[in-house]
Amino acid sequence: MTKKDAISILENMAVDMVGALADMRKKNPMRGILEQRIDAINVAQRALDPSYKSNRNVMLTISDLKNMNGQKIYLENEDGGFYGLVEVIKDAVSIVNGSGNGVPVDFLEKYKYKFYREKIDD
């Protein structure tokens, strides 16, 4: 297995975990565990290849999101953040949140959410 293969498999694992978050209640103790594992996967991907998507902490635009159907992202505003999956149907872009609901991106922008490929490191 190459490092590139490992990075790809880790990305698929993270997408699966974000999908599992969509079916979980907020109070489920597994939520924190899955979010921690997603963060660990992101760190592992960078460790395998430090140049791996070096733009991962660059804010994504709606145009970027339109090309990311089914991919995980991290959303954040002044009240906190969460992982979601991008869902593109025709030209409509939504983010599937932890409740399994597709929330339109323009609605999220009204609440000053910013979109990133992964959680911003402090």
pTM across the whole model: 0.64
Instruction: Look at residue 85 and tell me whether its pLDDT is greater than 80.
Output: yes
- Identify the pLDDT of residue 53: 58
Q: Tell me the CA end-to-end span of the chain in Å, nearest whole number.
A: 32
Q: Write out the two tokens for 45.
A: 């991907």
Mean pLDDT of the region 60-88? 89
Higher confidence at residue 55 or residue 23? 23
- Identify the pLDDT of residue 115: 93
- Identify the pLDDT of residue 23: 67
What confidence tier does 52 reach under pLDDT thresholds 50, 70, 90? low
Instruction: Look at residue 54 and tell me whether its pLDDT is greater than 60.
Output: no
Residues 6+ apart with CB under 8 A from 110: none
What confidence tier does 66 reach under pLDDT thresholds 50, 70, 90? very high
Strands 102-104 and 114-116: unpaired
What confidence tier does 86 reach under pLDDT thresholds 50, 70, 90? very high
What is d(CA 100, CA 21) in angstroms, rounded to the nearest whole number? 8
